[in-house]
Amino acid sequence: MDLFLKAMKGENKKSRPPIWLMRQAGRYMPEYRTLREKYSFMGLCKHPELIAEVTELPIKRFGFDAAIVFSDILLITETLGCELHFEEGRGPVITPIESVDSLVHHPVVPSMQFVMDGIRLLKERLQVPLIGFAGAPFTVASYLIEGGVSRDLKKTKRWMIENPESFHQLLQVIKRATIEYIQGQIEAGVDCIQLFDSWAHVLSWNHFEEFSFRYLQDIVSEFKKIPIIVFCRGSSFFYEKLAQLEPQVAISLDWHCDMAHIRKKLPKTTLQGNLDPDILLAASREQVVQEVDLLLEKMKDDPAFICNLGHGILPTTPEENVYALIETVHKNKI
């Protein structure tokens, strides 16, 4: 068994930690930028051969210990009858919804067969585990309501607070579609799933329990035979709650916490993270090595640790710093 799946099981003893990065197939790589000159982002996401090609880029270049399917958490919104496109400098744009009644649920797997076909191609080519993923219901709901990226989610929180019953109805619709999507990815061959609740950090503790965690729990309970990683911004605050998703769930931690402290609190949970992406972006090579060494020292002798960032790699990150990160991890023993 490889390092990544061993760490997911808490069995990676007497070896270095596995390493992969969120958004590892993306704009910081010149090969990806070259492809983007030829294809739109949606074009890359919807062609199985291109999905496979982009997913493989960082594996071939850097030798990461796991690959993550190249896609986007919002593609699923098209199966709910929403119009989605991406604009340069703005990101995703969706026609915002004002009620659950405006959604039409199309079968997810046939609608997103391009993802499943891309996964099958990758399983023929890759020598490392393949991670599939989906957006958590609260985060997907926020994009549907806001119509795109919002830093404060005011419209989302207003709906949630003023009409929690219909907000739950919306989350239930998204949850059902998400379960279908994950099942399709599993059947296509992924080895692991990561759930992204990227906007959970805007929630109070009580609202997190009611509108985020409850749905994460429902989704995780559907899949007993595949390891699952849960990432949410705010994980450094919600980690004890997220740990209740055990036994098969790992927690991906943001950079606002001390990994050694979390390990003491959660002695049996697989932990992923938690280097600040700005270190890779702005630090010198020597500083990157120092920061990575510090993280590895904190997690020394830990059989259930996966080295990653606390969020996705930033678009203008120098490749030499990615090499420095990987080389530092490869030469360390835990």
Q: What is the pLDDT of residue 248?
A: 74
**Given 28, 32, 65, 143, the catalytic residue:** 143
Statement: residue 332 has pLDDT above 80: no
Whole-angstrom distance, CA of residue 287 vs CA of residue 199? 30
* Residue whose C-alpha is closest to residue 87's, from 42, 151, 133: 42
Report the chain's mean pLDDT, rounded to a whole number.
Answer: 95
Please indicate whether residue 293 is annotated as part of the active site: no
pLDDT in tens, 8-40: 999 999 899 999 999 999 999 999 999 999 999
Element (H, E) at 166: helix 164-188
Question: 74 Cβ partners below 8 Å, 6+ apart?
Answer: 84, 92, 94, 135, 140, 143
pLDDT in tens, 61-113: 999 999 999 999 999 999 999 999 998 878 899 999 989 998 988 899 999 99
Please give the average per-residue pLDDT across 41-56, as a whole number.
97
Which amino acid is present at 76?
A: I
**Given 36, 176, 263, 285, the catalytic residue:** 36
Please give the average per-residue pLDDT across 44-67, as a whole number.
98
Q: What is the pLDDT of residue 333?
A: 62
Q: What is the pLDDT of residue 212?
A: 98
What domains are there in the chain, each with its CATH number?
3-330 (3.20.20.210)
Please indicate whether residue 323 is annotated as part of the active site: no
Q: What is the pLDDT of residue 148?
A: 87
Q: Which two tokens stand for residue 253?
A: 């931690």
**Given 2, 16, 61, 72, the catalytic residue:** 72
Percent of the chain with pLDDT over 70: 99
Please indicate whether residue 36 is annotated as part of the active site: yes
Element (H, E) at 307: strand 305-309
- Outline where DSSP puts E strands in 119-241: 130-135, 192-197, 228-232
Whole-angstrom distance, CA of residue 82 vs CA of residue 96? 8
pLDDT in tens, 153-170: 999 999 999 999 999 999
Q: What is the pLDDT of residue 1?
A: 58
Please give the average per-residue pLDDT across 226-247, as a whole number.
92
**Given 2, 16, 27, 285, the catalytic residue:** 27
Q: Do residues 204 and 225 make contact, with C-beta atoms less than 8 angstroms apart?
A: no
pLDDT in tens, 180-232: 999 999 999 999 999 999 999 999 999 999 999 999 999 999 998 999 999 99
Element (H, E) at 271: strand 271-275
* Residue whose C-alpha is closest to residue 123's, from 181, 61, 48: 48
DSSP string, 2-55: -HHHHHHTT---SSPPPB--TT-SSTTSHHHHHHHHHS-HHHHHT-HHHHHHHH
Q: What is the pLDDT of residue 81?
A: 94
Statement: residue 334 has pLDDT above 60: no
Please indicate whether residue 143 is annotated as part of the active site: yes
Whole-angstrom distance, CA of residue 325 vs CA of residue 329? 6
